[in-house]
Structure formats: C-alpha cells, structure tokens
Amino acid sequence: MTDRTARRRHRRQLVHSHRAPSVHFLGVPNTTRPNATLAGMCDAALRSYTWRTKYYSWRTNYLGGIVSQSDIAALFTPITVSAALELPNRLVMAPMTRSRAHGGLVDELTAEYYAQRAGAGLIVTEGIQPSVLGQGYMQTPGLHDVEQVAAWRKVTAAVHAAGGRIFAQLMHAGRVGHPVLYPNGELPLGPSPIASGGSLFTPDGMLEHPIPREMTRDDIGDAVREHVDAARNALDAGFDGVELHGANGYLIHQFLADGSNERADEYGGSITNRIRFAVEVVTAVAAAIGPERTGLRISPAVTLNGITESDSAELYPALMRALAPMDLAYVHVMEMGTRHLTRLVRAAWPGLLVVNPHPTDPSTPATPDLAAQALDSGIADMISLGTYWLANPDLPARIRADGPYNTADRTTFYGGDQHGYTDYPTLADTGTR
C-alpha cells in the first residue's frame, strides 16, 4: 500500500465518524437524468415515469428514509486527490452529453455553462471524442486537433477563474456510432462485429447503428495512442486531468463485456483477456500525464447501448486489482439500485472511489439524499450527481438549504442554445434564500 492510499483510508475513517442524530429530509423534484444517448430524447418511458411511487419504494428499501444533518455536512468536507489537486467538497458534477459543440468545437456558451457550476468539488465534462472515429453522437466535442484544444482552453480558463477544477472525460464510442458522423462514411469500430441494437438521433430521424468493423490489432494500438494524444491535449488545454470512459456501453466497456466481445485473440474470451484493452489504455494514459491526473469510469452490469455482461461480479474486481498498483486519481462507479457490485469494486480498489448512485436505472437521477447516504456508508469518497447539477448551477447552496431545486427541462438536454443550458436560475437570482 502506498503512503497516499494509506492517507486516503485514514481520511475516510475521519469523515465517517461522530454522526449527529438530527434528521434531515430532502425532496426529489419530478426530473429525469439525461440519458447518455441522444435517442433518450424520444424515450416515452421517461415522459411517463411516476416519480413518487418509485421514490418511496426505494427510499424505504435502499435509503431507509432518513438522512442526518451530519451526513449532509460530510459532503462539504475537503479531500485530497493528489499533491496537486485538493477538492473543497466531495460533490462531483457527473459527465453529461449536451450536444452543443457545432463542428466538434466548444464555445463561449460552453465556458459559461461549466463556470456556472464551478462550485463542484470536481467537474467532469461531457464525453469528448479522442479521434474522428471516436464520435458517437451529433454535435459532440473533440480533443484531437489544434482548433479543438484552443476552444477548450477558454472553458478551462473560465472554470479556473471561478475557482473550480475540471477533468476532461475521454469517450471513444466504438460501435455506438454511425457512418453519417464520419467524413469518409466509415463504419464505426468495435471489438467484434456485433451491433448495439440502438439508434443515432439525427435531424433527419433515427438511424440504426450498423454492425461495426471488428478492430484489428493495429486498430487497437491506434485507439490506445489516440487516448494518450487526447489526454496530452487535455493538459495542454488546461484541464486538471482526464477521466477515461469505460462505462455505458462505449468502446472500453465493449471490450470488457462478453456480450459485445467475442474475440478469439488475447483481447477476448477470458476475463484476463477482456480487461486487457482497458488496462492498456489506462496504463498508457497514466504514463503520459501521470496517474494522479487519470481517472476511470465504469458501470458494472449497466445495460446501456446494448451491453450485456454474464460475469460482472468477477469482471470488475479483476479490473480493479489490475489497476490498483497505478495509484490513479480515482475510479468512478455508476451504480444501479443495488450496492452489491459497488461493494465488490470497493473491496478490490484501494484508492479514491466516486459513486454515481442511481436508485433504479440510468434514467432515474442520482439525488442529494443518495449522495449523503453513500458517503456516510463509507462506500464512497466522493459522489457524482448529473441532473441536479444540470438544473441547479448553485447545487451546493441548494443542498445546504434543503432546496428548493429547479426542475430539469429534458426537452433541452441535447442540442439547442442557452435555454436549458445556462439559464437555470440560482437561489440568489430568485431571492429564495
């Protein structure tokens, strides 16, 4: 165990001691978390979701219905990620696709959006493609050319000027792409020629994801190098670090999952082989920019984008054990109602753990209630929230005040202008507090 890991464990023990008995209830507005896919805009299930019935069911079984005032206070204790990165609180802004990067470029509106949310302990950006073939959705940003790097510098400068910290999430979509996104109409890449079964939302309607081209060893090497180049570009653009997207059915996850990876070489078959690509990407990026600036997001057993796993309980501990010696900045777990797999990850991972605690499924938002409970339980060192940050740029102040919370407008989640992006009011704007 490294000295840094030992200090992290000691800090966890300090944070989770001496709890006060006072009771604190946090209401949940009728909102939905933005789906990671643009197709989620058309999902009728989101529109008809009955919040209160679901909410009280899981609150009784999962949360217990009570969150103490000291649990809330723990969210606002500082934490050290590395010698170069001290966070003032444990609230992470989760990555959320917003599809407002015309031509792959972010702009002043993007800078305003993230700077408004600089009160987060750490901001993790929307998914950024590390290469042309890494793109999975319309109007998503890149970090693979000079113009894109220059555009992101304005964003990081704005966040830092507002006192924030920001990691770039590098997301290679793999098979979750479409030839319409690529200049030469190429097929998307994947570990095996197995389609996701999903569709791409475009102005002309929904287009089914095609069967991807199976990646050769050269393609795999190229993908590793593209992640490294994009990570270096991220630091050049002023980011404090990067988060590698190994979740939600994108390329790294596609290699991990046996439902999308049927390769017969050293990258498929056994768990040792299926984690190989993830380990190679993480290792190469950590070597290039430093492990203390490198995080990884995972989503055990989450079935987004057609992903299926038959061995999640064995797969993710094996991945954590392989990564443990690297002393990364953190691992970020997207949790789905049950804590069983998160506990297995926690047991195998000695470093900082960020948990994104969804009560049932990805369309059901992680809440401040769950954030406080997860931190109090000791399962997490930091907590990420998505929809609540999207709709509440001053989220820390609202959590301290027990709301009220803005209701997220899901019709503006993807694409558009400032509406539903930078125009959500703060408590100060409304004079509520």
Q: Which of 289, 371, 292, 255 lies closest to 82 in space, CA to CA?
A: 292
Calculate the alpha carbon distances from 11 to 225, 251, 343 in Å. 36, 34, 19
CB proximity list for 14: less than 8 A, separation 6 or greater: none
Q: pLDDT at position 69, please?
A: 73
Strand partners, 123: 93, 166
Largest CA distance in the chain: 62
Residue numbers of the chain with a pLDDT score lower than 70: 1-68, 433
CB proximity list for 91: less than 8 A, separation 6 or greater: 75, 76, 119, 120, 121, 371, 382, 383, 384, 385, 395, 396, 399
Round to whole Å and give the CA distance between 268 and 270. Answer: 6
Round to whole Å and give the CA distance between 158 and 288. Answer: 25
Task: Sketch the domain layout of the chain as residue ranges.
Answer: 3-17+24-430
* Residues forming the active site: 250
Q: pLDDT at position 65, please?
A: 41
190 phi-psi bin (left φ>0, alpha ψ -120 to 50, beta other): beta
**pTM over cut 0.85:** yes
Strands 213-214 and 382-385: unpaired
Question: What 3 state SS string does the chain have?
Answer: CCHHHHHHHHHHHHHCCCCCCCEECCCCCCCCCCCCCHHHHHCHHHHCCCHHHHHHHHHHHHHCCCEEHHHHHHCCCCEEEECCEEECCCEEECCCCCCCCHHHCCCHHHHHHHHHCCCCCEEEEEEEECCHHHCCCCCCCECCCHHHHHHHHHHHHHHHHCCCCEEEEECCCCCCCCHHHCCCCCCCEECCCCCCCCEEEECCEEEECCCCEECCHHHHHHHHHHHHHHHHHHHHCCCCEEEEECCCCCHHHHHHCCCCCCCCCCCCCCHHHHCHHHHHHHHHHHHHHCHHHEEEEECCCCCHHHCCCCCHHHHHHHHHHHHHHHCCCEEEEEEECCCHHHHHHHHHCCCCEEEEEECCCCCCCCCHHHHHHHHHHCCCCEEEECHHHHHCCCHHHHHHCCCCCCCCCHHHCCCCCCCCCCCCCCHHHHCCC
Cα of first residue to Cα of last residue in the chain, in angstroms, is 46
Round to whole Å and give the CA distance between 256 and 247. Answer: 9
Burial class for 165, CB neighbours closer than 10 Å (0-12, 13-18, 19+): buried
Query: CATH class for domain 3-17+24-430?
Result: alpha beta
